[in-house]
Amino acid sequence: MALTRRAGLLTAALITIAACTGAAPSAEGSARGGPRLVDPRPCPDLADVTCSDLVVPLDRGGKRPGTLKLQVAAADNTDAPRGVLLLLTGGPGQPGVTYYKSLAARLPDVVKQYRLVMIDQRGTGGTAIDCPTLQKEVGGSDTTPPSRTAVEECAQLLGGTRNFYRTADTVADFEDLRRALKVPAMTLDGVSYGTFTAAQYGLTHPKRTTRLVLDSVVPSDGAGALYEDSLHHARAVLRTACEEQSCGYDPAKDLAQVVRRDDNGVEVFGMLVVASIIDPKLNNPNFKILDAIHRSAGGDTAALNGLIDGFNDPSGTPPEEFSSGLHAATLCADTRFPWGGASAPMAGREQALRKAVQRIKPAYTWPFERSTAGEQGIPQTCLAWPPSTPNPAPPHNKLTMPVLLLQGDRDLSTPLRWAEDLAAKTPAGELAVIEGAGHSVQRRSDAGARAAEGFLLR
């Protein structure tokens, strides 16, 4: 669900914006009179946009003291005819303000009609959670499995504060932001994990939600921990790419041979997930992914191993660009696991995971082995994460406002089935499938950006 470091490296020149800084006000001053945006200042490199800080309580239950300062960037057109559009990034772990300029450029007609707002969600950006060992091992990857030591060290660094980085806490921050902006309702446009936070806001505050764009859809009741649907979708992505390129062989069959011979299913899957972001049609001549898989099946493993090493390399990902600590804290609170919720005891988790993997039909995850589902990063991270406070379910279970579900048919991070399932139970939902597109459709597909604009300006 994350924009990986490799993809980030390839687009960094387009999206890097210096972080805004400023002194935090006192929590007491912020609390009087309700939520406020404080310390307004110009945003570097952004014309007609003001940066400020939203100060929110760490613990909304009031038992643990402390506040968090969340950076906000808001366009200065406070009289925009269509009101506020809150754009939400993914991860969990990505900041928001850094991406303001690049996302606004993708929606030029929208920004004339809406007041565009972005926020660094709690635990990201300039005040990101920093777990050094975990950050070094996995960077911005969902699929790379960390060492148990790195996970335990991160949980120890956070201590009890790990309970306050759930999606429900972030949704409450969005509501504080709405109140601070002094608007009766907002439109939300989320990408990847941002679709989950946007939907959770809509399920919590339906009367405050005008409409939603969900780009690269995470199920509104949470994604499963094992990524079976993504593993299943890989065969169609590979074979469609081969048909388009007239490759002359079956890349899915080749991949099945490679991962069983070399026991590298997690690594190959991670590489393909990144490819679905930056090379969704698998036709980039600089990568030659189909050819590398085919050559590896024939015994020449060098090209595929080079792609695996390059695409899965987490080195150099700073926490302010993607916080792996926030990623762990949120996913381990939010995600459905075979061993139960986030509060489940440590004893019995591994056994429950093994049983869940054994229940997967091998034909469903082919060309990958079903063991890949249990060995990839999300279950392996949360196996070692200590019992924590689970993310609560929102008060409503169905999105009733107009919703555009925007999905690339080559996406392996958030597969098409997730969008189809959510669309089927969303009364005012529209599913737009963009052929040849992968993850994060609005940013990487002109057709996706135009579909979003058409819906937002309707």
CA 304/CA 309 separation, integer angstroms: 9
What pLDDT was estimated at residue 222?
80
**What residue has token string 């929102």?**
394
What pLDDT was estimated at residue 270?
97
* Ramachandran class of 53: left when φ > 0, alpha when ψ lies in -120 to 50, beta otherwise: beta
CA 85/CA 116 separation, integer angstroms: 5
Helix axes 289-297, 302-311, angle to 10 degrees: 130
**Phi/psi of residue 88, nearest 5 degrees:** -120, 130
Residues of the chain with pLDDT under 50: 1-31
Report the candidate in 425, 384, 347, 376 with the shortest Cα–Cα distance to residue 264.
376
| DSSP result, 121-157 | -TT-GGG----HHHHHHHTT-SSSPPPHHHHHHHHHH
Q: What integer best gives the mean pLDDT of the chain?
A: 92
Q: How many CB atoms lie within 10 A of CB 64?
A: 13
CA 124/CA 216 separation, integer angstroms: 21
What pLDDT was estimated at residue 14?
28
Rounded to two decimals, what is the model's pTM? 0.92
* 351: three-class secondary structure by DSSP: helix
**What residue has token string 């069959």?**
253
What domains can be seen in the chain, in order of their start residue?
33-131+159-220+392-456 (3.40.50.1820)
Radius of gyration from C-alpha coordinates of the chain: 21
**Residue 113 corresponds to which amino acid?**
Q
What pLDDT was estimated at residue 343?
96
Residues 6 or more apart from 302 whose CB is under 8 A from it? none
